[in-house]
Amino acid sequence: MTPIPADHLIVSPRHIPELHPEFVPASLWTREFLARCDQEGERPIVLALMRSDGTSSSHCDKILPALPQFESLNLRHVERVVKFLLWARGGNRLLIAGAPELVPALQNIYSTAGDRAFDADFVRRVFNGNLVIEAVSESDIPKAETAAADQALGRHLEGCRIGFDLGGSDRKCAAVIDGKVVHSEEIAWDPYFEKDPDYHYQGIMDSLQRAAEHLPRVDAIGGSSAGVYVNNQVRVASLFRGVSKELFEKRVENIFLDIAREWNDVPMNVVNDGDVSALAGSMSLGEGGVLGLAMGTSTAVGYVDASGAITNWLSELAFVPVDYGPGAPADEWSGDIGCAVQYFSQQGVSRLIKVAGLEIDPKLAQREHLVEVQKLMEAGDDRAAAIYRTLGTCFGYAIAHFARFYEIHHLQVLGRVLSGPGGDLLLDHANRVLRDEFPELARSLTISMPDETQKRHGQAIAAASLPPLA
C-alpha cells in the first residue's frame, strides 16, 4: 500500500471499495480533520468567492491553530476546499478570512506555474479575469450570498416553446405548447472532435427548425448542454473541444446569440445540462434543494436551491476531489488526483476493468467498455458486479461530501453508467454507506432515478421553460 504522507489523516471507512481499497473518502478525511480541530482548539475560517458582476458566495469552516505542527494539515484541508468551491460555485476573486499564513502557499499552488495551473486557467477563461487570492479580515467578507442570480429562469410553461439538449452523441429537441410536449426527437451527431463550428451551428439550427414545424409559432427557446454558459455565451464546453481557440472566439463564443438572431430574437436561454436536469427533477417533485447528477461520458451535475431556483453556481463537480488518497487516479485534463470524474462516469468503469479481472479490449472506446461491462453484468458475472459495488461505495461517501457544500433534499441520478442492473447495485451500495456512516443525512435525503417518460420529456419541458416571455 502507498505510504500515507503527513498531511493525510488516517481514516477507517466501514465500507471498503473492493477494487479500490486505498480509497480515502474526502467526507471521512474531513470529518476526522474537524474532530482534530475540536481536540486541539478550532479556528474559524471563511472563504468567499466573488465575481465581477457583484455576485458572491461564502463558505464557513474551521481549521487547527496556527502552529508549525498543524501547517501541513491546515493547508491540505483548505486547498481541497478551495478546489471544490472554484468548481462548484465559481468566481475569480477568493477572499480568505482567518488564515492569512496559508494565503502565500495557495497563491503559489493556483498560479499559472503551480500545481493547479489548469484550475487557474479555467477560472480565467470563464470569468475573463485572473484568479486572485487575498487574505482579508472577516469584516471584508460579503455578508449575504447573492449567488441565485438566475431565479427568473425556468418554470415558464405558457406559449409555444422549443427545448433542446446537446449531447456528445445525439441532440434532442422538443416542441412544447403550454407545458405539453407535442413533438420530440433525437438525432445522432458527433460534435466532440469536429473542427468546423459550422457543423455545430447547422446541426442546432436543423433541430430547431424540425421542432418549429410542429408549432403554430415560436415564442421562446431554451436549451442545455455540458459546459459553462454566461448570459448565453459559451465560456467552456466539451461540445466544441475540436474547435481551435481562434475559431472558438470568432464563431463559438456567441453561437447561441447568433442563433437567437436567426429566430427573430425571441427570448432564449442556454444553461448547463445538469442544471436543467435538476430543474426537471424539481418541477416533477414539487420541491427545491435538488442536486441532479448524471454519470455518462463525464460527471454532469446541476443544482436547484431550496427555493426552487437555478443558481449561477458552476456545479462542475467532475473536477472536485472526492478521494484524498495519495495513490488516487489522476484526471486526464487537470492532472489532479481523486476527482469525481474518475469514479462516477464511463471513465470510472473503464479504469476498473483490468483490476476486476475482465478481459475487454483496452483499445475500445470508453462507451464501448461500458457496454461490454453491462453485458457481463446482465449475464451475472460477479467481476462486473464488483465494479458497480466499488463505484457505489465511493459514491455514498462522495454524496456526504457534496452535502457539506450544497443543501440537498433530493438527489436525482441518471446517465448511461446507471442503466441496467448495475445502476441498481451501485445505488444500493451508496445507500448502505449513507445509512451506516451518515445516518442523519440518510434520513433527510432521498435518491431516485427518473423514469423513461421523465427522462425523455421532463428535460425537454424544463429546457423549454427557461426563458420568461418578454
Same domain, 396 and 435: yes
Q: What is the CA radius of gyration of the chain?
A: 22
349 and 292 in a common domain: yes
Q: Are residues 266 and 288 in the same domain?
A: no
**Whether 283 and 253 share a structural domain:** no
Tell whether 1 is covered by a domain. Answer: no
Range of the domain at 385: 277-458
Q: Are residues 298 and 415 in the same domain?
A: yes
Beta strands in 342-422 (DSSP E): 410-414
Residue 318 burial class via C-beta count within 10 angstroms: exposed 0-12, middle 13-18, buried 19 and up: buried
Considering only CA atoms, which of 118, 121, 126 is closest in space to residue 234? 126
Give yes or no: residues 423 and 327 share one domain.
yes
211: pLDDT confidence band, cut at 50, 70 and 90? very high
**Same domain, residue pair 136 and 177:** no
Q: What is the CATH number of the domain that holds 199?
A: 3.30.420.40
Q: What is the pTM of this model?
A: 0.90
Residue 7 pLDDT class (50, 70, 90 cuts): low
Domain membership flag for residue 7: no
Residues 219 and 291 in one domain: no
DSSP string, 78-140: HHHHHHHHHHHT--SEEEEES-GGGHHHHHHHTSTTSTTHHHHHHHHHHHTS--EEEEE-GGG
Domain contains 63: yes
Domain boundary among 261, 276, 291: 276
* pLDDT of 108 higher than 80: yes
Q: What is the pLDDT of residue 10?
A: 87
Cβ neighbours for 426, distance < 8 A, ≥ 6 positions apart: 388, 389, 391, 392, 395, 417, 418
Beta-carbon count within 10 A of 153 CB: 21
Tell me, yes or no, whether 128 and 192 share the same domain: no
Which triple of cell numbers denotes residue 403? 452535502
Instruction: State pLDDT tens for residues 363-422.
Output: 998 889 999 999 999 999 999 999 999 999 999 999 999 999 999 999 999 888 999 999
In a shared domain, residues 95 and 200: no
The last residue of a domain, from among 95, 110, 140: 140
Domain-embedded: residue 15: no
Q: What pLDDT, on a 0 to 100 scale, did the predictor assign at position 455?
A: 66
**Domain closes at, from 140, 174, 198:** 140
On whether residue 100 sits in a domain, the answer given is yes
Q: 62-66, 169-173, 202-206: lowest mean pLDDT where? A: 169-173
- In this structure, are 272 and 299 located in the same domain? no
- At residue 456 the predicted structure's pLDDT band, cuts being 50, 70 and 90, is low
Average pLDDT over residues 304-322: 92
Q: Do 335 and 424 sit in the same domain of this protein?
A: yes
**In the structure, what pLDDT confidence band is assigned to residue 33 with cuts at 50, 70 and 90?**
very high
Which among 168-172, 222-226, 351-355 has the top mean pLDDT?
351-355
pLDDT confidence of residue 144 = 53
- Residue 219 in domain: yes
Whether pLDDT at 274 is above 70 = yes
Mean pLDDT of the 442-448 span: 95
How many domains would you assign to the chain? 3
Per-residue pLDDT band for 291 (boundaries 50, 70, 90) equals: very high
